[in-house]
Amino acid sequence: MKLAFSTLGVPGLPVPEVLTLATTHGYHGVELRAHPEEPVHPGLTPAQRAETAALFRSAGIEVLGVAGYARVAAPGEDAPVLAEIRDLLQLAHDLGAPFVRVLPGADPDRPREESDAIAARRLGTAAEDASALGVRILLETHDSHRTGADAIRILGPVGHRQVGALWDVMHTWLGGEQPSETYAALAPHLGYVQVKDIASAEDTTPLPLGTGVLPLTECVDVLSRQGWDGWLCWEYEKRWYEGAAPLPDLLGAGREHLARLLGEAA
């Protein structure tokens, strides 16, 4: 498996400095948070995109994915959501990234079946753009659809190879799902896996990997036993928790912890 980290852990850090962290600590790739407050977002010009892609190539680091915020199950018209996804797909294509992350974001007061159908319809439509650009759209296990069982209610009806799943280990755990259950649900659709650690269900402040309660060992064991050979991406949510320890100080130990888990699983 390859290892990456998300720029959510180093909010606003310029790309050259992100790449220095990745190369210094032995990561293979970086997940880019695509938000206007970040250096990389859909508002970049063609020249800026080309420059960013060139920086990654020169450093020998892959752009794992573009983490967007399109909410595919949210109420409202389809057009704005589809336009947002298309912008993310184009950005990923221009950067050479294989994946775009989207979120569910269903209205809890709306019938579940209705939200599922909205999301499946939008993803099915966006899949054609994804196919044309050679990028996969990944629905993250998150918010209204935090388990694999939730996500598959959307992904199953879509049934398109360019639409898959991003397994966020924290959300599936918070949803009461065991890693073996999540993998069984998402295996045909799995793009990559986001790992992290937290103190408890009540305190989701990010912690160094291996110091919290999330079932990282079980997750890696399941993936390894099944012969899955994709990406593990450390999503350290520093952006939302200002009091959390700085990620750069933790990257080395975090990579060692993941490598140890992989070695033990092997």
The enclosing H or E element of 149 equals helix 148-158
Instruction: Check whether 266 has a pLDDT greater than 60.
Output: no
Using 50, 70 and 90 to split pLDDT, how confident is the model at 261?
Answer: very high
Residue 54's domain comprises 2-265
Q: What distance in Å separates the CA atoms of residue 235 and residue 10, rounded to the nearest whole number?
A: 10
Rounded to an integer, the average pLDDT of 113-124 is 98
> What tokens were used for 16?
């050259």
Instruction: Check whether 86 has a pLDDT greater than 80.
Output: yes
- What is the distance, to the nearest Å, from the Cα of residue 199 to the centroid of all Cα atoms in its chain? 21
Using 50, 70 and 90 to split pLDDT, how confident is the model at 264?
Answer: confident
- What is the distance, to the nearest Å, from the Cα of residue 19 to the centroid of all Cα atoms in its chain? 18
User: CATH code at 166?
Assistant: 3.20.20.150
Do the beta carbons of residue 63 and residue 22 sit within 8 Å? Answer: no
Q: How many helices (H) and strands (E) does the chain have?
A: 9, 8
Structure confidence by residue, pLDDT tens digits, 136-181: 999 999 999 999 999 999 999 999 999 999 999 999 999 999 999 9
Using 50, 70 and 90 to split pLDDT, how confident is the model at 265?
Answer: low
Q: What is the 3-state secondary structure (H, E, C) of 208-254?
A: CCCCCCCCHHHHHHHHHHCCCCCEEEECCCHHHCCCCCCHHHCHHHH
Q: How many domains does the chain have?
A: 1
Structure confidence by residue, pLDDT tens digits, 201-245: 999 999 999 999 999 999 999 999 999 999 999 999 999 998 999
Q: What distance in Å separates the CA atoms of residue 137 and residue 118, rounded to the nearest whole number?
A: 16
Q: What percent of the chain is predicted at pLDDT more than 90?
A: 98
Rounded to an integer, the average pLDDT of 175-201 is 97
